[in-house]
Structure 1
């Protein structure tokens, strides 16, 4: 009898202590969320919903640009994942940021000088530089993975291989789950790609000065943006400003007037006038909040979990 009472008291004590344990944050994706809904929010920006972008996926918990990093970002409720596209020696498109495999894999050498079979013998490294079980994915593998899932992908650096990238999207049925971007003026993009420009979701990048293809002349941010607004239908504008009084800030007013999404990267100082993720962790309203106040309705971050938590607390994300 004493043993029974002792066990019962232990169980009560355990249950009481368990209640004091801090629960882990859980992200629940809305059942109604879909890639089409995200695309619609991008095409129809609202100050009441801020779209979130995970830079290279959830790279703090999985190798950057890996399928697992993309999956983790989707699972936490991210709207868009940014990935990088490179071409191998034998003309396959893989997902990797650097021009070489040295930093992010167990291999060595420039991607353009290595065939795909050799690259896939390497494994990806984690954020601490340690080998993992993950392989370097091809763009086709990534697009097949995200197909039908509630996420869009931003294909950074795909401007060097736009037709080949588009062909993979068409093959995998994921054209409307991808966003292309680039720095060239519209007339240069038309000269390079013709009618293909009308078949993709394209986002021009707006810098304090946008150079033409020869680098001989430059366009002010508002002039560059207006060139797309007048003769094209950009899915969004990615704006880059290194100072709070940058002329790019003024160009945002033109984008907002035309109801076009404004995308800002809070990754490092030069991209967002110093209002970075690291500062936002300490004071989100002063930094992510400042970015939103200046017109952004899309934020690319290296702190996806914390950004989503902040936006939810402000009623700006599902």
Structure 2
């Protein structure tokens, strides 16, 4: 950053580098990419995030659960609590995602459970997970990993739409 003034520098801040925030000698970066695997990590404490946001952007990557304590784009599309709303409440001003159309819809105030919904597009997958006595080839046997989030009250049944989201009751 000190060699070329045209470089837009955005350091990654993790547990080990949380103390580096605000310590650049000549100029501050344009953003910090804050990576955390727990909301107890030092770099996501309210005072630290407020200090960052007071002068520059907070970038959080929502593409993988390991980058933001499970707050993922998939969680956003399912309506889970670990979603873009939660990252915004942390102070994120930049969110990285592969779901550009969905985040644009959400940013404009759309309810993500209704994103990309078209009348008549009500395909639902129901996956039973209770092996029938007799085993494979004799009765139904579920041997693959669950493809949907499980309902706690129905542990052997996956119910979701074709995008992997559980339908509200």
In the superposition, the TM-score normalised over structure 1's length comes to 0.32
Residue 292 of structure 1 deviates from its aligned partner by: 0.3
Unmatched 5+ residue regions in structure 2? 111-169
Alpha-carbon distance in structure 2 between the residues aligned to 1:281 and 1:248: 26
Correspondent of 2:12 among 205, 209, 220: 205
Equivalent pair of 1:266/1:301 in contact (CA under 8 Å): yes
Are 1:277 and 2:68 matched, yes or no?
no
Equivalent pair of 1:284/1:310 in contact (CA under 8 Å): no
What does 1:246-257 correspond to in 2, within 5 Å?
246-250=41-45, 251-257=48-54
Question: Of Structure 1 and Structure 2, which has the larger fraction of its residues in helix?
Answer: 1
Alpha-carbon distance in structure 2 between the residues aligned to 1:236 and 1:284: 27
Alignment length (residue pairs): 108
Equivalent pair of 2:37/2:67 in contact (CA under 8 Å): yes
Correspondent of 1:267 among 63, 67, 74: 63
Q: Which runs of 4+ in 1 moved over 2 A?
A: none
Are 1:305 and 2:101 matched, yes or no?
yes
Alpha-carbon RMSD: 1.9
Correspondent of 1:233 among 4, 7, 28: 28
What does 1:1-318 correspond to in 2, within 5 Å?
194-196=2-4, 198-210=5-17, 221=18, 223-228=19-24, 231-250=26-45, 251-257=48-54, 259-283=55-79, 287-313=83-109
> SS in structure 1 opposite 2:3?
helix
Alpha-carbon distance in structure 1 between the residues aligned to 2:3 and 2:8: 13
In the superposition, the TM-score normalised over structure 2's length comes to 0.58
Please give the per-residue CA displacement for 1:115-154, whole angstroms capped at 9, x wherever unaligned. xxxxxxxxxxxxxxxxxxxxxxxxxxxxxxxxxxxxxxxx
> SS in structure 2 opposite 1:281?
helix
Equivalent pair of 1:264/1:296 in contact (CA under 8 Å): yes
> SS in structure 2 opposite 1:296?
coil
The answer for the alignment partner of 2:163 in structure 1 is none
Greater RCO (CA < 8 Å, at least 6 residues apart): 1
Alpha-carbon distance in structure 1 between the residues aligned to 2:80 and 2:91: 16
User: Which structure: larger Rg?
Assistant: 1
